[in-house]
Amino acid sequence: MKAIYFDEHGDYDVLRYGDVPDPTCAPGEVVLRIEAAALNFNDIWARQGLPRVNLPLPHVSGTDAAGVVVEVGKDVERVKVGDEVIVYGVNSCRVCPACLRGEEVFCRTMRIWGFQTGPYDGAYAQYAKVQAQQVAPRPTHLTWEEAAATSTSLLSVWRMLVTRAEAKAGDTVLVWGASGGTGSFALQLCRVLGARAIAVTSSDEKEAFCRTQGAEEVLRSDRDDVHRGVRELTGGRGVDIVFDHVGETVWPISVECLAWGGKLVICGATEGFMPHIDLRYLWNKQLSFLGSHIGTHREWMDCLRLVEQRKVHPPVTQTFALPEYAAAMRAMEERRITGKLAIRVGDHA
Ligand SMILES: NC(=O)c1ccc[n+]([C@@H]2O[C@H](COP(=O)([O-])OP(=O)(O)OC[C@H]3O[C@@H](n4cnc5c(N)ncnc54)[C@H](OP(=O)(O)O)[C@@H]3O)[C@@H](O)[C@H]2O)c1
Ligand SMILES: [Zn+2]
């Protein structure tokens, strides 16, 4: 089958489009014919390689997929050949205490599919295998590309805002990197929860996009003093929640922007892992710093319910064909995107 893959970590020249072995279906697994996939920033980390993270090589990336089941392994009863499905990006043992109590994210063998699995195991391929528990029916009102984009970002945002930060109606939430995949779902979810989202973004075009996604206010990292802007917009009080995945460069500003008793929730650090902060803020303002990582199957079901109810819509803004994948990844890395980017794999378009 055709896939985008790499044999070693590095720059764009490590990416190959070519033939790799077809997946084989073990007991408990299903094989999908991929119709569409969607990008996540994790794909960039996978290509580059991360310190202390061993990714199986050769690697096919891609954690978000929508497709048709073409083969089911022994013992798989719930999923049938021909089912149109989307994929939950968590591969776990399903039998340990953490898995059994519905906290797959704490399973000791939990791996993000299409990132830590492999070799040759992700969504940027004509076929892929996943655990049968990872698939759910495709929301039928969505295109294949939109369906593919309903998983990782939305799920991560749900866990960050609902489970970890316990965002509620009336809260004010500062959303960094608001125009991207994670950020735009955060704006949509704030709207659903009745929270007031203050988006931080970096251009006129992105500002307009953020307003379509649910931003009540927009601050501009390219020209505004974000802390001063937050003070003005909140009458000097600060925000209840900071939603962050940018990390090092914005963390000191986030700490200043938080109201007393505020919460900072973080799932990533695109601009670095080693922030400098004045710890006195932590105890004097009695802040909470919360880490969050992808989400549980149950949280994904909650997300999909919002999608089915048309309250949240995958913000796919551009689609690329599979061989054009490198151009999509470059646009993401160079910060030239809004919302989610999709990859068309099947020939349905
Ligand atoms: N642990 C988890 O579960 C989890 C889940 C999802 C994502 N993440 C992490 O969250 C981060 C964002 O992921 P994503 O998929 O949302 O990416 P994305 O769609 O590319 O969005 C990232 C946004 O961050 C802003 N940004 C600020 N500094 C940037 C920089 N140096 N390079 C690129 N963008 C920058 C940009 O928005 P503006 O121009 O509007 O500022 C950009 O659109 C990544 O670090 C990713 O690994 C973690
Ligand atoms: Zn487990």
Q: What secondary structure does DSSP assign to 122-146, as a single string?
A: SSSBSEEEEEGGGEEEPPTTS-HHH
**136 and 36, same domain (yes or no):** yes
Residue 215 lies in a domain: yes
Is 336's C-beta closer than 6 angstroms to any atom of ligand 1?
A: no
d(CA 126, CA 158) in angstroms, rounded, equals: 29
pLDDT at 51: 87
**Residues 192, 125 share a domain:** no
Q: Give the pLDDT of residue 284.
A: 97
Query: Is the shortest distance between the CB of 213 and ligand 1 below 6 Å?
Result: no
Ligand 1 atom nearest 210 alpha carbon: 40
Task: Look at ligand 1, atom 41, and give the residue with the nearest C-alpha.
Answer: 177
The CATH number of whichever domain residue 187 belongs to comes to 3.40.50.720
Q: Could you tell me if residue 127 is inside a domain? A: yes
State the pLDDT at residue 347: 75
Going from the Cα of 176 to the center of ligand 2, the distance in angstroms, rounded, reads 32
Domain residue limits at 223: 156-291
Query: In tens digits, what is the pLDDT along the chain, a chain of 349 residues?
Result: 999 999 999 999 999 999 999 999 999 999 999 999 999 999 999 999 998 888 999 999 999 999 999 999 999 999 999 999 999 999 999 999 999 999 999 999 999 999 999 999 999 999 999 999 999 999 999 999 999 999 999 999 999 999 999 999 999 999 999 999 999 999 999 999 999 999 999 999 999 999 999 999 999 999 999 999 999 999 999 999 999 999 999 999 999 999 999 999 999 999 999 999 999 999 999 999 999 999 999 999 999 999 999 999 999 999 999 999 999 999 999 999 999 999 999 875 4
Counting the structural domains of the chain, the total is 2
Residue 22 burial (10 A CB sphere; 0-12, 13-18, 19+): middle
Q: Is residue 304 part of a domain?
A: no
pLDDT at site 348: 54
Of all atoms in ligand 1, which is nearest to the CA of residue 176?
41
In a domain, residue 201? The reply is yes
Alpha helix stretches (DSSP H) within 88-180 = 97-100, 144-148, 152-158
Cα of 298 from ligand 2 centre, angstroms: 15
- State the distance from the centre of ligand 1 to the C-alpha of 69, rounded, in angstroms: 31
| 280 within a domain of the structure (yes/no) | yes
* Ligand 1 and 157: CB distance under 6 A: no
**Looking at residue 171, what is its pLDDT?**
98
- 177 close to ligand 1 (CB < 6 Angstrom): yes
CB of 175 shorter than 6 A to ligand 1: no
Furthest CA-CA distance within the chain: 61
State pLDDT tens for residues 27-40. 999 999 999 999 99
Ligand 1 within 6 A of CB of 163? no
Cβ 221 under 6 angstroms from ligand 1: yes
- Considering the domain architecture, whether residues 96 and 146 belong to the same structural domain is answered as yes
